[in-house]
């Protein structure tokens, strides 16, 4: 009896515990369960970048002066001094070199002496001509004597004129003994030294003018037409962020036999003192008539029987379908001319599974 009583108590206790656990479970079911927001679909995107359909071409060149003058003495002589060195900047009228002036001074003194002698001869001849005229008027001389006096006076005048020109020439020659710069520039070569005897017109100092500079590049024959008709600009390796306007000034009439390129010279009207001669420059040629296009992967296209479109992703992760203007199709790319803005982010993978109503999450970007 005792055992039966114990078993009955245990059964009642177990039933109570079961009911209590069931009540707790039912109470928990009535509480709302917090739902986490579903994460956006991960997508791979690329930015739209428009560029000329014909890509720009760049060439390495050298900054050179447009005019480089070989300067020499206008008279022969022995070099007394060379006053400049290579790389030195010179101004207008600055002396570059001088000749020994001893012989030139002697020639000038000789011309002065001849001039004084001619002056005296002319005075005597003019007086004789005047007396001959007076005597002829009075009838005390003949016409022949008068003509002779006139001829002597004319000859004296011509001799004086010749002596005067000789004085001017010798003075000029004496001034030519000093070689001076006729423009502002920089000395690029010195071909004489003190003690050297030079001839008239022989190159002594080479000066590159600062007035205008140009970029000299070698252009292949396939781009010769673009060099003539395209838009050119120059950047310096020492100043890559500054662009200089360039204009084609000269193209070689024939190609170089070794490289098969044409030497082209582009003037730089905006180049200042920061553009030094000999600097390395990059010449960029662009075709002004070309259309601006953007190249995107073919996997970015979305089309269901209508116009081709692209999915654009904004900063909030929302997508929008925009139609585009397709210019051509390539092996792996599509070439577009419009429809989306520069810098827009375009989905490039899984566009067939996207829904404009859902949000996306950019997991990576593709540089294309």
The pLDDT tens digits of the residues spanning 224-269 come to 888 888 889 999 998 888 999 999 999 999 999 999 999 999 999 8
Cα 184 to Cα 121: distance, rounded to the nearest angstrom: 48
> Where do we find the tokens 């890559």?
240
Residues 6+ apart with CB under 8 A from 236: 63, 242, 244, 275, 279, 280, 281, 282
pLDDT at 12: 57
Burial class of residue 266 in the structure, from the number of CB atoms within 10 Å of its CB (0-12 exposed, 13-18 middle, 19+ buried):
buried
pLDDT at 14: 47
**Orientation angle between helical segments 102-138 and 143-175, nearest 10 degrees:** 160
* % of the chain beyond a pLDDT of 70: 87
Does 282 score more than 70 pLDDT? yes
Would you list the DSSP string of 23-81?
HHHHHHHTSPPPPPPPPPEEEEEEE---EESS--EEEEEEEEES-EEEE--SS-EEEEE
CB 71 within 8 A of CB 97: no
pTM of the model: 0.57
**What average pLDDT score do residues 134-140 get?**
85
Q: How many CB atoms lie within 10 A of CB 160?
A: 21
The residues pairing with 198 across neighbouring beta strands, listed in sequence order, are 77
Cα 12 to Cα 105: distance, rounded to the nearest angstrom: 148
CB 186 within 8 A of CB 86: no
CA distances from 127 to 121, 132, 158 (A): 10, 9, 16
pLDDT tens-digit series, residues 36-50: 445 678 888 888 988
Residues 6+ apart with CB under 8 A from 245: 232, 233, 234, 268, 269, 270
pLDDT tens-digit series, residues 145-193: 888 889 999 999 999 999 999 999 999 999 999 999 988 889 999 999 9
C-alpha torsion 104→109→114→116, nearest 10: 150
pLDDT category of residue 366 using cuts at 50, 70 and 90:
low
pLDDT at 180: 94
* % of the chain beyond a pLDDT of 90: 42
Cα 142 to Cα 344: distance, rounded to the nearest angstrom: 114
CB 204 within 8 A of CB 179: yes
Does 77 score more than 70 pLDDT? yes
Does 217 score more than 80 pLDDT? yes
pLDDT tens-digit series, residues 11-64: 554 455 454 555 444 454 444 443 444 567 888 888 898 887 777 789 999 999
Question: Which range has the worst mean pLDDT, 74-78, 203-207, 226-230?
Answer: 226-230
Does 281 score more than 90 pLDDT? yes
CB 308 within 8 A of CB 321: no
pLDDT at 5: 47
pLDDT at 7: 42
pLDDT at 16: 52
pLDDT at 61: 93
pLDDT category of residue 75 using cuts at 50, 70 and 90:
very high
* Mean pLDDT, all residues of the chain: 84
Does 329 score more than 90 pLDDT? no
Residues 6+ apart with CB under 8 A from 68: 188, 206, 207, 208, 209
pLDDT at 11: 53
pLDDT at 318: 84
pLDDT at 81: 94
Among 134, 48, 105, 9, CA closest to 311: 48
Residues 6+ apart with CB under 8 A from 28: none
Does 327 score more than 50 pLDDT? yes
> Where do we find the tokens 């520069």?
342
Cα 226 to Cα 231: distance, rounded to the nearest angstrom: 8
CB 268 within 8 A of CB 215: yes
């Amino acid at each position: 009896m005792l055992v039966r009583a114990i078993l009955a108590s245990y059964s009642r206790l177990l039933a109570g515990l079961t009911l209590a656990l069931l009540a707790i479970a039912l109470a928990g079911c009535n509480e709302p369960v917090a739902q986490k927001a579903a994460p956006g679909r991960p997508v791979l995107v690329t930015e739209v970048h428009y560029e000329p359909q014909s890509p720009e071409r760049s060439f390495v060149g050298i900054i050179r002066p447009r005019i480089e003058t070989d300067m020499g003495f206008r008279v022969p002589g022995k070099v007394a001094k060379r006053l400049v060195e290579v790389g030195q900047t010179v101004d207008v009228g600055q002396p570059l070199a001088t000749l020994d002036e001893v012989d030139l001074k002697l020639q000038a003194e000789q011309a002065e002496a001849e001039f004084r002698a001619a002056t005296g001869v002319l005075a005597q001849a003019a007086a004789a001509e005047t007396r001959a005229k007076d005597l002829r008027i009075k009838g005390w001389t003949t016409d022949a004597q008068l003509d002779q006096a006139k001829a002597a006076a004319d000859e004296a005048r011509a001799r004086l004129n010749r002596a005067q020109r000789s004085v001017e020439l010798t003075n000029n020659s004496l001034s030519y003994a000093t070689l001076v710069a006729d423009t502002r520039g920089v000395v690029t070569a010195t071909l004489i030294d003190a003690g050297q005897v030079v001839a008239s017109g022989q190159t002594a100092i080479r000066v590159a003018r600062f007035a205008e500079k140009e970029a000299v590049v070698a252009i292949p024959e396939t781009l010769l037409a673009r060099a003539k008709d395209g838009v050119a600009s120059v950047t310096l390796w020492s100043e890559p962020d500054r662009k200089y306007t360039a204009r084609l000034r000269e193209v070689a009439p024939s190609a170089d036999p070794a490289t098969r390129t044409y030497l082209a010279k582009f003037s730089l009207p905006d180049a200042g003192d920061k553009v030094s001669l000999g600097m390395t420059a990059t010449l960029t040629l662009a075709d002004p008539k070309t259309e601006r296009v953007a190249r995107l992967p073919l996997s970015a296209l979305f089309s269901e029987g209508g116009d081709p479109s692209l999915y654009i992703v904004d900063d909030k992760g929302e997508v929008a379908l925009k139609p585009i203007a397709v210019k051509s199709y390539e092996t792996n790319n599509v070439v577009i001319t419009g429809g989306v803005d520069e810098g827009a982010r375009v989905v490039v993978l899984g566009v067939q599974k996207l829904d404009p109503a859902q949000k996306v999450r950019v997991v990576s970007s593709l540089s294309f």
